[in-house]
Chains A and B, each alone.
Chain A
């Protein structure tokens, strides 16, 4: 490893610290409001908390007779299942697009992209009717199905793009060794595409984790609610309970940050370099 000059290190850190400062400055107000005993939106120029209390967090867990745990679980189930289904379906589809030349391929790929251009405003009601007919209204399954398909196009395109960068020599060698297509897909392609899998997983998870409008349209029973609907509870007709909302916002973002923290080693520790060299 060559040494890196000191000014370069300093500049890089300065740039990163600057970026973090810009990112964190507005977030300080969220923290301030979450820790404040008041329900008002903080307009003070000072983002440092002046009073610290955990009562907003306590309220989150004790209101509605402690139903929040159940709703957290709902959110985890919905986001987890969305991620699982999304990534599995996307990786098989992306593999087909990347490694086969079949009639309808161009059309199919364009089709995935085109679906992203549909403005959601016209789709909510037809989806509602469809789920109603399938008996999936007010159920987590209906929500999972809708979320996983809406995150699919990005996942398919992202994975297809990444699969394309994986050299074919590896598969050809594997075919020589008598490996089946399935084996190649699961044992070679998927592990090599780990960084892209992580990005798509994170994306699918986020699609489901923060979505509010569809969830609130399809779900009516509070035992079925996901966390974003619960957060919206604090947004009222005339006023918003900002202390509770901020505490909830922090609560919602912690699992995402934790997940990202866990996953980022796969995002960084790419395997292709070694594999291709060999």
Chain B
């Protein structure tokens, strides 16, 4: 009797407790949702209360931000019923937030941004045009910049361009021509000692633009066709090659950081750089600034690209008239004066430069003089597809590996790939029939499985398991599976300026049949796949072996300061990798990096890390190994705790060698926790995008790109071909799925 009651009690209790678990976890979801609702509720409420609140987005910092804040405050004082609120959006996500938030009605009323995306925004109807001739009093170049297809799209606020900086200790009189400048530069140069006549980022197309224009080249011709494949541009590329490779006046592989470093330390006579450079220069540096001199040989000015910061009115703003007034307000004479005087901004409003106080600001006046000789950055949507080919050609030439004319011919070909017209639209019926058949088959198999009732009975018997599992499963399906399914549907569409057309499996066929590129072209799917597999295998091997080695050392009780070592060793995991990856990149610099310094100290030859595939790949792997081993170490430290030490000690007493103990005692017991970490580590490394992006940047010639970084490039730097990029992502998924199915890891168990 008592036994029976106990059983009943036990069952009752179990039932309650099991549903208890279920409810507890479900409750957790509900509570978070409710908190969320109330939190957003309060936000929504706040929005209601401030529904008259208009929003401005900007990405300014420091003095520029302060000046803008001041203008918003004074606007709000003058227009208490139409207040504007200033929101800072980080530059990294600025463009994607504009693209995402505005069409869905979550965007700002006004946003301040560089003008170069105007073409794309106008084509996707994100911004409002301005009535013809409503914008007056701005420098004509800045008005040119905001014009697209005969309409003006933004109010010019300020502009940025390159100018010439010089050290007074080397340069007594600013040069009258490029030739004169190079003469002085040649005298100062002592390359082996790390001293250069001229420093600028020679391999960056943006920085190259002054030479391009000085030789008479252009980016697009009158009809808007790609015009880089021309003798003039080739001459400018050859000129840069001469500066870097033959005369060695300009350092190789100069990053922005190296330019700053050399100029600050007095190891450079001239620097070509923009207004942001002023914020990086040491306070007591004795330098001067002048507009870039013309090239005497051609008689043409060296015109850098001009980028105009403009105020744009969102096409979805509910306060368009206020937004227009606000945009004009922050660009009127008084406001511009404040932005120039306090924000140190080269402003677009011409009358400001008549102000005697502004005329005394030498740096600002230099930018003003340069403005007359600038090339407004083309704002056509196709400009987005110019950067990658143009930069790649420039790097090839500066490595001395390809002749300028040849490199530019290839660049034109690449540009053609990136801007090719979208595939033909296809009927959607096959897709719908396919989906219907799939659902039918799914329903049929389900019915078949449940027909005899035994499966149902078995499921019922395991009810607790489902209850334990349910909360996690619901979350996964809702927040991961569903978005992925929806997102991968994009791969069946082609995207062009905000419009999607259904193209069926065209992207997949193009990619898999490698229709456009040879198999060994870095743009080919199979080439990139091979690189990705090698990248993943090498990384995971190093992560696990280093992690395991350190974990085995760190668990020994006789090792003193274990806790101390452990905390130090997880630092690479703890510090944001954006900065550490760039430090590694700096360590791999050919002339100034610590790694070559070490090689030279050991009597070896310095290596040009990013000019060949093998060494660029090795640099990526080294960085990612450094970043990734701490995670494996922590996982293994935890997993090692499942192994009773006495078991190992017993084996040791029995005379088992270290390797035998590892093989027969440690590894088998480690496996259950280690294998998932290895599989997931593999999957993550396969999709590890930012190390490639930050360290090698795909160099040389896109060869070290992996599949995910290719996908990103198609989505963001090659005409926003979201469909093509999504097809890459879906293929990545299938590759990983096939890999785990083939190796049997999906069934990994017991």
> A182 contacts which of B21, B491, B677 (Cβ < 8 Å)?
B21
In the complex, the chain A residue whose C-beta lies closest to that of B160 is: A238
Q: Contact: A237 with B91, CB < 8 Å? A: yes
A188 within 8 A of B: no
Q: Contact: A132 with B106, CB < 8 Å? A: yes
- Binary CB contact string for chain A from 191 to 226 against chain B (1 if under 8 A, 0 otherwise): 000011011001100100010110011001110000
- CB-contacts of B258-283 with A (<8 A): 258, 260-261, 264-265, 274, 276-277, 279-280, 282
> A26 contacts which of B583, B684, B746 (Cβ < 8 Å)?
B583
B297 within 8 A of A: no
B13 to chain A, nearest CB (A): 5
A41 within 8 A of B: yes
A232 within 8 A of B: yes
In the complex, the chain B residue whose C-beta lies closest to that of A162 is: B673
A residues in contact with B480, CB < 8 Å: 115, 118, 123, 149-150
B325 within 8 A of A: no
Please report the C-alpha to C-alpha distance between residue A257 and residue B730 in the assembled complex, in whole angstroms: 37
Please report the C-alpha to C-alpha distance between residue A250 and residue B475 in the assembled complex, in whole angstroms: 33
B592 within 8 A of A: yes
With A102-B465, A222-B88: A257-B567 Cβ-Cβ less than 8 Å:
yes
Please report the C-alpha to C-alpha distance between residue A217 and residue B569 in the assembled complex, in whole angstroms: 32
A173 within 8 A of B: no
A252 to chain B, nearest CB (A): 6
B675 within 8 A of A: yes
A42 to chain B, nearest CB (A): 8
- Binary CB contact string for chain A from 72 to 91 against chain B (1 if under 8 A, 0 otherwise): 00000000010001001110
B residues in contact with A41, CB < 8 Å: 256-257, 260-261, 582, 586
> A246 contacts which of B89, B96, B261, B579 (Cβ < 8 Å)?
B579
Q: Contact: B471 with A110, CB < 8 Å? A: no
- CB-contacts of A128-142 with B (<8 A): 128-130, 132, 134-142
Please report the C-alpha to C-alpha distance between residue A149 and residue B307 in the assembled complex, in whole angstroms: 42
- CB-contacts of B28-47 with A (<8 A): 28, 32-33, 35-37, 39-41, 43-44
Pick the interface stretch among B339-347, B504-512, B553-561.
Answer: B553-561
> B476 contacts which of A20, A24, A85, A112 (Cβ < 8 Å)?
A112
A196 to chain B, nearest CB (A): 5
B residues in contact with A118, CB < 8 Å: 480, 484, 729, 733
Q: Contact: A165 with B672, CB < 8 Å? A: yes
Q: Contact: B575 with A252, CB < 8 Å? A: yes
Please report the C-alpha to C-alpha distance between residue A164 and residue B670 in the assembled complex, in whole angstroms: 11
> B468 contacts which of A96, A112, A128, A144 (Cβ < 8 Å)?
A96
Q: Contact: B32 with A110, CB < 8 Å? A: no
B524 within 8 A of A: no
A residues in contact with B562, CB < 8 Å: 268
A58 within 8 A of B: no
- CB-contacts of A1-43 with B (<8 A): 1, 4, 9, 12-13, 15-16, 19-20, 22-27, 29-30, 38-43
A residues in contact with B733, CB < 8 Å: 117-119
- Binary CB contact string for chain B from 148 to 179 against chain A (1 if under 8 A, 0 otherwise): 00000000000010000000000000000000
Q: Contact: B644 with A272, CB < 8 Å? A: yes
B206 to chain A, nearest CB (A): 9
Q: Contact: A217 with B261, CB < 8 Å? A: no
Q: Contact: A29 with B725, CB < 8 Å? A: no
A residues in contact with B579, CB < 8 Å: 30, 242, 245-246, 249
A57 within 8 A of B: no
B79 within 8 A of A: no
A residues in contact with B732, CB < 8 Å: 117, 119
B184 to chain A, nearest CB (A): 24
A residues in contact with B37, CB < 8 Å: 135, 141
Q: Contact: A108 with B715, CB < 8 Å? A: no
Interface residues on B, range: 35 or more
Please report the C-alpha to C-alpha distance between residue A42 and residue B566 in the assembled complex, in whole angstroms: 28
With A150-B480, A181-B18, A249-B576: A164-B459 Cβ-Cβ less than 8 Å:
no
Please report the C-alpha to C-alpha distance between residue A119 and residue B579 in the assembled complex, in whole angstroms: 24
Please report the C-alpha to C-alpha distance between residue A158 and residue B679 in the assembled complex, in whole angstroms: 11
- Binary CB contact string for chain B from 360 to 393 against chain A (1 if under 8 A, 0 otherwise): 0000000000000000000000000000000000
A277 to chain B, nearest CB (A): 7
A residues in contact with B559, CB < 8 Å: 9, 12-13, 16
> B90 contacts which of A4, A154, A216, A268 (Cβ < 8 Å)?
A216
Most buried by B among A106, A121, A132, A140: A121
Q: Contact: A199 with B638, CB < 8 Å? A: yes
> B747 contacts which of A81, A106, A140, A257 (Cβ < 8 Å)?
A106
In the complex, the chain B residue whose C-beta lies closest to that of A117 is: B736
Q: Contact: B261 with A40, CB < 8 Å? A: yes
Q: Contact: B483 with A103, CB < 8 Å? A: no
B227 within 8 A of A: no
Q: Contact: A23 with B568, CB < 8 Å? A: yes
B residues in contact with A114, CB < 8 Å: 737, 740, 746
A residues in contact with B211, CB < 8 Å: none
Please report the C-alpha to C-alpha distance between residue A12 and residue B491 in the assembled complex, in whole angstroms: 52
Please report the C-alpha to C-alpha distance between residue A38 and residue B479 in the assembled complex, in whole angstroms: 43
Q: Contact: A30 with B673, CB < 8 Å? A: no
- CB-contacts of B313-327 with A (<8 A): none
A residues in contact with B530, CB < 8 Å: none
Please report the C-alpha to C-alpha distance between residue A138 and residue B575 in the assembled complex, in whole angstroms: 26
Q: Contact: A228 with B576, CB < 8 Å? A: yes
B616 within 8 A of A: no
Q: Contact: A93 with B468, CB < 8 Å? A: yes
Please report the C-alpha to C-alpha distance between residue A122 and residue B574 in the assembled complex, in whole angstroms: 27
- Binary CB contact string for chain A from 52 to 76 against chain B (1 if under 8 A, 0 otherwise): 0000000000001000000000000
Please report the C-alpha to C-alpha distance between residue A126 and residue B61 in the assembled complex, in whole angstroms: 31
B443 within 8 A of A: no
With A22-B626, A102-B465, A249-B575: A158-B458 Cβ-Cβ less than 8 Å:
no
Q: Contact: A89 with B471, CB < 8 Å? A: yes
Please report the C-alpha to C-alpha distance between residue A162 and residue B433 in the assembled complex, in whole angstroms: 45
Q: Contact: A257 with B571, CB < 8 Å? A: yes
Please report the C-alpha to C-alpha distance between residue A89 and residue B478 in the assembled complex, in whole angstroms: 15
Q: Contact: B260 with A113, CB < 8 Å? A: no
In the complex, the chain B residue whose C-beta lies closest to that of A16 is: B565
Q: Contact: A182 with B18, CB < 8 Å? A: yes
B435 within 8 A of A: no
A residues in contact with B36, CB < 8 Å: 134-136, 139-142, 144-145
Q: Contact: A126 with B160, CB < 8 Å? A: no
Q: Contact: A260 with B554, CB < 8 Å? A: no
With A216-B92, A270-B642: A115-B282 Cβ-Cβ less than 8 Å:
no
With A26-B587, A103-B455: A233-B101 Cβ-Cβ less than 8 Å:
no
B59 within 8 A of A: yes
Q: Contact: A92 with B114, CB < 8 Å? A: no
Q: Contact: A40 with B280, CB < 8 Å? A: yes
What are 18 sample pairs from A and B whose C-beta atoms fall under 8 A apart? Answer: A12-B559, A23-B569, A43-B261, A90-B472, A115-B476, A123-B480, A132-B106, A142-B40, A157-B680, A158-B677, A162-B642, A236-B61, A237-B114, A257-B574, A267-B634, A267-B637, A268-B555, A272-B642
Beyond the given A116-B683, A276-B644, please list 13 additional residue pairs across the A-B interface where CB-CB is below 8 A. A12-B559, A15-B553, A38-B282, A43-B261, A43-B586, A101-B462, A102-B466, A103-B462, A138-B106, A154-B676, A185-B21, A239-B280, A250-B575
Which A residues form the contact surface with B (CB < 8 A)? 1, 4, 9, 12-13, 15-16, 19-20, 22-27, 29-30, 38-45, 64, 81, 85, 88-90, 92-93, 95-97, 99-106, 108-123, 125-130, 132, 134-142, 144-146, 148-150, 152-154, 156-158, 160-162, 164-166, 178, 180-183, 185, 195-196, 198-199, 202-203, 206, 210, 212-213, 216-217, 220-222, 228-229, 231-239, 241-242, 245-246, 249-250, 252-253, 256-257, 260-261, 264-265, 267-268, 270, 272-273, 276-277
A-B pairs with lowest CB-CB distance, top 7: A141-B36, A270-B641, A122-B487, A182-B17, A157-B676, A102-B462, A100-B465
